[in-house]
């Protein structure tokens, strides 16, 4: 089975930072694991937009999960020399 995550079911462990209708940004407050790399993520961005510009810096790594009708982007701060 492909990686998947149910943000609705996890909503009580995540803090809503931004919601534009098309795009939701949630902060991980409870060590929820990324379905892509299994490490806890810092924030998850869920979007139904077709295109999305992101500003990332070298201290962050990103995991992308494409689902049927949306894309989820997980951010991880590079702590302790994670590869
Ligand atoms: Zn990840």
DSSP for the chain, written as a single string: ------TTTTGGGEEEEEE-SSEEEEEESS-PBPTTTSSBPSEEEEE--S-------TTEEEEEEE-SS-EEEEEEE--S---
Distance 66 CA to ligand 1 centre (A): 13
Q: What is the tens place of the pLDDT at every residue in 24-68?
A: 999 999 999 999 999 999 999 999 888 877 766 778 888 999 988
Q: What is the tens place of the pLDDT at every residue in 13-34?
A: 999 999 999 999 999 999 999 9
Distance 20 CA to ligand 1 centre (A): 24
């Amino acid at each position: 089975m492909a990686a998947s995550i149910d943000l609705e079911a996890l909503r009580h462990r995540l803090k809503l930072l931004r919601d534009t209708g098309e795009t939701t940004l949630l902060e991980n407050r409870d060590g929820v694991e990324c379905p892509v790399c299994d490490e806890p993520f810092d924030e998850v961005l869920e979007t139904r937009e077709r295109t999305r510009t992101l500003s990332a810096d070298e201290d962050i790594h990103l995991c992308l999960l494409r689902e049927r009708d949306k894309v989820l982007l997980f951010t991880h701060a590079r702590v302790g020399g994670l590869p």
